[in-house]
Chains A and B, each alone.
Chain A
Amino acid sequence: MRVLTPSVRTRLTLWHAGVLALVICIFSAGIFLFVRARLYSTLDQQIRADLATIEKVYQEETGDLGELAHRMGITLFRVAEGETILYQTPDWPPGGTTPYRLGTLGDASHRIAAARDETAVRETLWTLGVILAIGAPCAIGLAIGGGYFLAGRMLAPVGAMAETARKITAESLTQRLPVGNLQDEFGQLASVFNESLARLEEAFEQLRRFTADASHELRTPLTAIRSVGEVALQRSLSAAAYREVIGSMLEEVDRLTRLVESLLTLTRGESGRIQPALEIVDLSGLAVSVVEHLRVLAEEKEQSVTIDAATEVSATCDPAILRLGLINVLDNAIKYTPRKGTIRVGVRETRSGEAAIEVEDTGLGISAAHQGRIFERFYRVDQSRSREAGGTGLGLATARWAVEVNGGRIELESEEGKGSLFRIVLPRVVRARLGGT
């Protein structure tokens, strides 16, 4: 990061200065050529005026040619007729160290040549050239310096963001990047980063809770096994009592095994190692079979389970995984609905054309505070009650995974004391696509 920031800054500056240098060079050359052309054309005009004056004098008073020098200030000219020089000023022909500009006029009978000193023009052009040659690099230098400074100012938020980001670790995820102006690109970038950080923080927090919960869940049966075993060894027991002890320990082992297996299934599922084998599934049939599967549990609690699956609704999903999800949702409903309660399982099409399986109970309901976290692993609304009910705390987490891996979502509507409605929503299969199968 540290290398990248100045490099962007330098690149910005160089591009900026390069473009400016090009513009200045073209501009300077333009000025120089324009001034030069103007100066020379003025000089040429003067020479042409001189020639006209000389011509006039030649035509009218040839003898007065000698007086032109001090009367008109025309000091350098020659008038010739053929090979005969009629008149020429003493300094003719111009030459030596001083530069001259020459003009001629004439016809077959005579030729007039006049010249003017162009030192002044050359000096002016020279001065201009020097000014431009010194000024342009200065301007470019200023552009580089200013550009570098400005680029630094503009990129400063990036540096600040990098500095903060470097300090953020898994332990300090609560920190956020400084957001300058929300309207500019850097402000937006920072706020986008901050949103990602918030999600990361949430994920880490969930992981932390999960680790704590998992170790608690795993330790509970281990503690039971250990203390039951240790206490039993403190004194001699009858064979029957030993059987009791070992049986009790084995029960805890069984609980551990189930826990580890459920966790493995979930972890494998969430890491994407379980690929759903998609097929077109009749959800009504699936719901009926799941209800029949668990009906004995409801019957034991004298609950009535009704199925409301009049219309045939199909969805594309993995039937085994979806079944696992629905079993967990229905089991949850049976568990938290009191004796003689009612559970309704409905299969229908939602208004937006998706397929939905609803499990509605007249149970305890879930307060709004718990609704957001009810699908988290090991999350329990009431610690003691759910453990008594014999759950692993993974049922609804498994259900959510099972539904989401099939491209669906699971919704919850619940009011405390009245009951809950879990809705598994899956994309529906369009019947036309079945093509008469």
Chain B
Amino acid sequence: MRILIVEDEKKVAKALRDGLEAEHYEVRIAVSGEEGFFLVNHELFDLVILDLMLPRRDGLEVLTTLRKQAVQTPVLILTAKDTVDDRVHGLDSGADDYLVKPFAFPELLARIRALLRRGRPDQILRLQQDDLTMDLVTRKVMRAGRALELTVKEFEMLEYLLRHVGHVVSREMLARDVWRVTARATPLDNVIDVTVTRLRRKIDDPFETKLLHTVRGVGFVLRSERT
């Protein structure tokens, strides 16, 4: 999978490249709108990550021109502007998704996976990790053959973690996708933390192998204990 990053801030660009390469993506960097435009026209990419504030040629302008030329590569916009108008404008210009700086890296990875997966709907009825299984139809959760009683929020959170198994899930992602709250607020973060603690009590505490881990300062990840 080849990803083009159009970003003039060198530190951010390098961090993105390192992070994405660690996830086994092939990454190219363009430091200006012009260069990005040139690369998209001459090479083939599966995804473009586009910063909006670029020197010489504005990100939105590049995007509009690309869409006029019928370039269908998915585009993920990165920007520090976060008003609703900016979002609408970006999506209207042909962007496929929108992420506001500063963003959590796990969130960027999740969005990239979602964009690359697009058009391939998954009809999953059952999620599993090690001896933990979740039946999405009967809404039953079992571990090591034992049924677990989860609250609605705990169930939704576990489902979300299972869908992103092996990948770190940030509090922002949980807030937006599980609690469906766009504005980040302190109370909600506490609620998330408490819910994680309780979920862990149910799915991990009675068992030898721990599955739900906290990645300090980043978020949570569901995986087997081996690192």
Contacts and interface: CB of A to CB of B under 8 A. Distances in A.
Interface of A: 243-244, 246-251, 253-254, 257-258, 261-262, 265, 293-294, 296-297, 300, 324, 327-328, 330-331, 390-392, 395, 398
Contact of A258 (B179, B184, B217): B184
A250 B217 contact: yes
A330 B186 CA distance: 12
7 contacts: A249-B217, A261-B183, A300-B194, A324-B185, A327-B187, A328-B187, A392-B186
Interface in B207-227: 215-218
4 closest A-B pairs by CB = A250-B217, A247-B216, A331-B187, A247-B217
Contacts of A331: 186-187, 190
A395 B186 contact: yes
B216 A244 contact: yes
Interface string B176-202: 000100011111111100110110000
Which range holds the interface residue count of chain B? 20 to 34
Contact of B194 (A247, A261, A296, A324): A296
A391 B186 contact: yes
Contacts of B183: 261, 265, 324
B217 A390 contact: no
A56 B191 CA distance: 133
B185 A294 contact: no
A330 B198 CA distance: 21
Contacts of A297: 187, 190-191, 194
B217 A246 contact: yes
B218 to A, nearest CB: 6
Contacts of B218: 247, 250
B119 interface: no
A248 B185 contact: no
B191 A257 contact: no
| Chain A contact surface mostly | helix
Given A246-B217, A250-B217, A254-B217, A294 B187 contact: yes
B216 A251 contact: yes
B102 interface: yes
Interface of B: 102, 153, 171, 179, 183-191, 194-195, 197-198, 215-218
A112 B153 CA distance: 134
A395 B102 CA distance: 22
Contacts of B186: 258, 262, 331, 390-392, 395
Given A247-B217, A249-B217, A254-B217, A328 B194 contact: no
Contacts of A262: 185-186
A250 B184 CA distance: 17
Contact of A296 (B102, B171, B191, B215): B191
A246 B194 CA distance: 23
A248 B214 CA distance: 13
A258 to B, nearest CB: 6
Nearest to A265: B183
A349 to B, nearest CB: 27
A246 B217 CA distance: 8
A295 to B, nearest CB: 9
Contacts of B189: 258
Contact of A247 (B102, B179, B190, B215): B215
Contacts of A294: 187, 191
A246 B218 CA distance: 10
Contacts of A257: 102, 184
A253 B171 CA distance: 13
Nearest to A301: B194
A249 B218 CA distance: 10
Given A250-B216, A250-B217, A293-B191, A328 B198 contact: no
Contacts of A293: 179, 191
Nearest to A327: B187
